[in-house]
Amino acid sequence: MGQLNQRHILVAISGGIAAYKGAELVRLLKKQGALVRVVLSRGATEFITPLTMQALSGEPTHTELLDEAAEAGMGHIELARWADLMIIAPATADVIARLAQGRADDLLTTVALATPAPVAVAPAMNQQMWAHAATQENIQMLASRGIQIVGPSAGEQACGDVGLGRLLEPEAIVIALNQRFDNRLLEGRRVVVTAGPTVEAIDPVRYLSNHSSGKMGYALAGACADAGAQVELISGPVHLDPPDRVTLHLVTSAAEMCVRALELADGADLFIGAAAVADYRPESTSADKIKKQAGDTLVITLVENPDIIASVSQLANRPVLIAGFAAETNSVMDHAREKRLRKGLDMIIANDVSDPDTTFGAEQNAVHLITETEERSLPLASKRVIAEQIVLAVADSLERLLRRP
- Whole-number Å distance between alpha carbons of 261 and 242: 18
Catalytic pick among 55, 66, 158, 159: 159
C-alpha–C-alpha distance, residues 43 and 22, integer Å: 13
Is residue 62 a contact partner of residue 74, using CB atoms and an 8 Å limit?
Answer: no
Contact of 41 with 73, CB cutoff 8 Å: no
Query: The dihedral of CA 300, 303, 307, 308: what is its sign?
Result: negative
**Residue 159 annotated in active site:** yes
What are 192's strand-pairing partners? 232, 271
Q: Cα(249)–Cα(235) distance, rounded to whole angstroms?
A: 6
Distances (CA, A) of 365 to 99, 290, 327, 346, 372: 19, 39, 11, 21, 23
Contacts of 295 (CB under 8 A, 6+ apart): none
d(CA 266, CA 269): 9
Strands (E), 185-274: 190-195, 200-203, 206-208, 230-235, 246-250, 270-273
User: At 53, which helix (H) or strand (E)?
Assistant: helix 50-57
Q: Indicate the DSSP class of residue 242.
A: P
Angle at 53 between CA 49 and CA 59, to 5 degrees: 130
Output the DSSP codes for 294-353.
Answer: TT------EEEPP-HHHHHHT-TT--SEEEEEEEESSSHHHHHHHHHHHHT-SEEEEEET
- Residues annotated as catalytic are 159
